Amino acid sequence: MDLIQKALAEGRTMLSEFEAKQVLAAYGLPVTREYLVSTRDEARDAARKIGGPVVLKGSDALVAHKTEKGWIVADVRNEEEAVQAFDRLTGLPDGPRQVLVQEMIRGKRELVVGLTRDPQFGPSVMFGLGGIFTEILRDVAFRVAPLTKADALDMMAEIRGHKILDAVRGMPPADKDLLADALVGVGRIGLEHPEVQEIDVNPLILDGSRPVAVDALIVLKKD
């Protein structure tokens, strides 16, 4: 993919969230609607085009953990608030030059999808419970790429919290078919792009039944 080669040519070891989502979308992972903006007018325009509440995130390919840096403004209700949020982020000391305006996904169920490159097995796909407590819950399953759709469905059944994917508390069941295709797709990224070292899609939120990648990270090989 061109944008991976471009990032490598620039000496980067990470794709920006905006870039990472383009890679993921190309492999069948549903991602948030979003625009990368550099001016107040663009921010206003993006908020209008998306409609409904949006999230603004400082965008910098070198910053992996935006929450810790205070680079996120959530629940932005209208165009005016979008401009204010843009000003706030770009006005931070060492703040971002570009800002991502993205649709706000409100689902309560947060999942994680990832790719790691194991020295023994090669690219391996992870699926499990996501959100900020991923490492504490450690409720994840792994499969070695290439994955079959059956492997992907098996991973969903394997995690302890698998019932979160069913119809719970008035929420519809997750679209496991779409989710399985996404997991197969993430495995394919690992196989087709040896320069991709790790992928983290966290959280992948269930918007009703539809999984949507809300944040994403792609780490590239340093050499």
Partner 1 sequence: MDLILQQKLNRMFSPRGIAFFGGVNTPASFGHLVLLSQMRYGYQGRLYPVSEKGGTVAGVPILKSLAEADGPVDLAAVSVPASAVPEVLRQCLANGVAGVQVHSSGFGETGEAEGRRLQDELKAIANQGLRIIGPNCFGLHSPAGGITVLPGSDFSKEPGGLALISQSGGVATDFGYEAARAGLRISKAASFGNGVDVDAATLLEYFAHDPETKVIAAYIEGVPDAGRFLELLKATTPRKPVVVWKAGLTPLGRRAAQSHTGSLAGAADLWTGALRQAGAVSVQGLDEMMDALVGLHYFRNRGSRVALVGGGGAIGVYSSDLAYRHGLDLPAFSEETQAELRRHFPTPGNSMVNPLDTGTPVLDLKILKNICRIVLEREPVDLLLVILLLRPIEREINNFMTMMGLPVPAAGSYLEALVEPLAGLRGETGKDVAVVLDNRAHLAQDIEVEAVARRVAPLFQARGIAVFSDAKRALGAVRLARRS
Q: Site residues (CB under 8 A) for partner 1?
A: 14, 64, 112, 114-116, 118-122, 124, 126, 128, 134-135, 138, 140-144, 147, 151, 154-155, 158, 198-200, 202, 217, 219
Least distance from partner 1 to the Cβ atom of residue 54, Å? 25
For the bound state, the minimum distance from the C-beta of residue 164 to partner 1, rounded and expressed in Å, comes to 18
Give start and end residues of each alpha helix (H) in the chain: 2-9, 17-26, 40-50, 66-69, 79-90, 134-137, 149-158, 176-192
How many angstroms separate the CA atoms of 77 and 55, rounded? 9
Q: To the nearest whole angstrom, how small is the minimum distance from the Cβ of residue 126 to partner 1?
A: 5
**For residue 163, how many other CB atoms are within 10 A of its CB?**
9
Distance CA 96, CA 196 (A): 25
Q: What is the dihedral of CA 16, 71, 214, 104, to 10 degrees?
A: -130
Least distance in Å: CB of 155 to partner 1? 7
Beta carbon nearer to partner 1, 103 or 187: 187
Residue with smaller CB distance to partner 1, 77 or 160: 160
Cβ proximity to partner 1, 137 vs 171, nearer residue: 137
Q: Strands 110-118 and 98-103, how do they pair?
A: unpaired
The smaller minimum CB distance to partner 1, of residues 10 and 135, is found at 135
User: Nearest distance from residue 221's CB to partner 1, in Å?
Assistant: 10
Indicate the residue among 44 and 193 with the shorter CB distance to partner 1: 193
Supply φ then ψ for residue 124, to 5 degrees: -130, 140
Place of tokens 């947060």: 110
